[in-house]
């Protein structure tokens, strides 16, 4: 086995792209032992996931066409943080925009990286409870259908490959800690 | 609620970057109702995750420095598919390179997208059993420490935020279907 992972220091940066959501840079790095390598890095402002947990222990998912992967996906509500936006405010905003619900409480339950090999994106997961319907307000380029689903059905859909989005699988896994076993 | 998600058709593509691992393009798209939008798409060749499940129901994880997120992470073994490489062969190769183990059986147990809002990356998850140690062989720019860990400890580390990589959380969640409850 190796003696442990080593830090990499950046020796030069080439900025390749500065887009609406993504930025891309290519860095040259040097390891502590002198080896050099290249790192392609997607800069992403981060995102919030909201797990809307209803009184009957069902959750809300959203179905939408995902252009990058060329198909519809069934996902947990989520959205990209705006510049300078706190993840918790992003979560509240996206909950309403995507599902039409407001919540009484929002509890941080998880955070994780989605693709640490090349993307800076960190996702903040919030459990939303005390939900009340106030009306949907999606971005004009988002076409979203809200789906209410029980946790056992969601688990079946993961095993059947019908839910196949990493953050959604993480969210469903995490929410199980917050519902009584007797209802699963 | 909306009437359902709508397909988006590409009307023009601008290729921005063609790197060692990533490509990036910006597409203009049009919805069925005529609305136009822009999509920033990271093209990724896909990846394989290997869940090495030992006889005692522990699993192998790897600890490595992740430059894009600026810290060490404890992750399930995984690697990017080479051009034209089948995900199952990628899984076998990465299992040996990163952990130094070979396996008797490899079973596909999950596939998912990691960032379908902007990346084409799909991850293929394989459960590896019948493990035997043959020696590690990492890429020269990978500095990896192998960590053997029980599933209950892995679950604790997810809840404590010490495991914070989406694919690793998905893998630990999925492997629980394949171990006897009595051992958890």
Q: What is the pLDDT of residues A37-87, one digit of tens each?
A: 999 999 999 999 999 999 999 999 999 999 999 999 999 999 999 988 999
pLDDT band at B42 (very low <50, low <70, confident <90, very high): very high
Q: What are phi and psi of B24, to 5 degrees?
A: -135, 135
Residue A127: closest CA among A14, A69, A47, A49:
A49
Residue B93: closest CA among B40, A1, B103:
B103
Beta carbons of B120 and A69 less than 8 Å apart? yes
pLDDT at B83: 87
Q: Which CATH superfamily is domain A47-183 in?
A: Nucleoside Triphosphate Pyrophosphohydrolase (3.90.79.10)
pLDDT per position as a tens digit, B50-88: 999 999 999 999 999 999 999 999 999 999 999 889 999
CB A164 within 8 A of CB A73: yes
CATH number, span B47-179 = 3.90.79.10
Average pLDDT of chain A is: 92
Beta carbons of A158 and B63 less than 8 Å apart? no
pLDDT at A32: 86
**From B3, B140, B142, B162, the catalytic residue:** B140
Residues from chain A contacting residue B40 (CB–CB below 8 Å): 19-22
Token pair of A4 as six digits: 């442990």
Count interface pairs A-B at CB distance under 8 A.
206
Q: Is B49 a residue whose pLDDT tops 50?
A: yes
Could you give the CA distance from residue A123 to residue B156 in angstroms, rounded to a whole number?
Answer: 19
- In sign, the C-alpha dihedral spanning A123, B167, B68, B64 is positive
Could you give the CA distance from residue A78 to residue A100 in angstroms, rounded to a whole number?
Answer: 13
Beta carbons of B164 and A111 less than 8 Å apart? yes
Q: What are phi and psi of B55, to 5 degrees?
A: -60, -35
Residue A28 CA from chain centroid, whole number: 29
Provide the terminal-to-terminal Cα distance of chain A, rounded to the nearest Å: 42
pLDDT band at B2 (very low <50, low <70, confident <90, very high): very low
CA distance B98 to chain A (A): 10
pLDDT at A6: 65
Residue B20: closest CA among B46, B52, B44, B47:
B44
In chain B, list all ranges with CATH 3.90.79.10: 47-179
Beta carbons of A39 and B68 less than 8 Å apart? yes
In chain A, list all ranges with CATH 3.90.79.10: 47-183
Query: E strand or H helix at B87, and its extent?
Result: helix B87-99
pLDDT at A135: 81
pLDDT at A1: 35
pLDDT band at B4 (very low <50, low <70, confident <90, very high): very low
pLDDT band at B142 (very low <50, low <70, confident <90, very high): confident
Token pair of A136 as six digits: 């949907």
- The strand ranges marked E within B20-93 are 23-31, 36-43, 47-52, 58-66, 71-75, 78-80
**Residue B104: CA atoms inside 13 Å, Cβ hemisphere, count?**
7
Beta carbons of B8 and A38 less than 8 Å apart? no
| DSSP-derived 3-state class of residue B130 | strand
- The strand ranges marked E within chain A are 8-18, 23-31, 36-43, 47-52, 58-66, 71-75, 78-80, 101-113, 122-133, 145-150
CA distance A143 to chain B (A): 5
Residues from chain B contacting residue A136 (CB–CB below 8 Å): 1-2
Q: Is A148 a residue whose pLDDT tops 80?
A: yes
CA distance A69 to chain B (A): 5
Work out the number of other CB atoms within 10 angstroms of the CB of residue B144: 22
């Amino acid at each position: 086995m190796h003696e442990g992972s080593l830090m990499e220091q950046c020796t030069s940066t080439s900025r390749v792209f500065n887009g609406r959501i993504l930025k891309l840079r290519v860095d040259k790095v040097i390891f502590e032992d002198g080896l050099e390598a290249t790192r392609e890095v997607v800069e992403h402002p981060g995102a919030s996931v909201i797990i809307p947990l209803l009184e009957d222990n069902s959750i809300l998912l959203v179905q939408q066409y995902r252009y990058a992967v060329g198909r519809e996906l069934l996902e947990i509500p989520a959205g990209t943080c705006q510049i300078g936006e706190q993840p918790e405010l992003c979560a509240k905003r996206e909950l309403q925009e995507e599902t039409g619900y407001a919540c009484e409480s929002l509890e941080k339950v998880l955070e994780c990286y989605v693709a640490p090999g090349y993307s800076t994106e960190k996702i903040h997961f919030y459990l939303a409870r005390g939900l009340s319907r106030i009306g949907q307000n999606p971005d004009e380029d988002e076409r979203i259908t809200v789906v209410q689903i029980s946790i056992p059905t969601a688990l079946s859909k993961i095993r059947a490959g019908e839910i196949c989005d990493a953050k959604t699988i993480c969210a469903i896994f995490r929410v199980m800690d917050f519902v009584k076993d007797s209802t699963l």
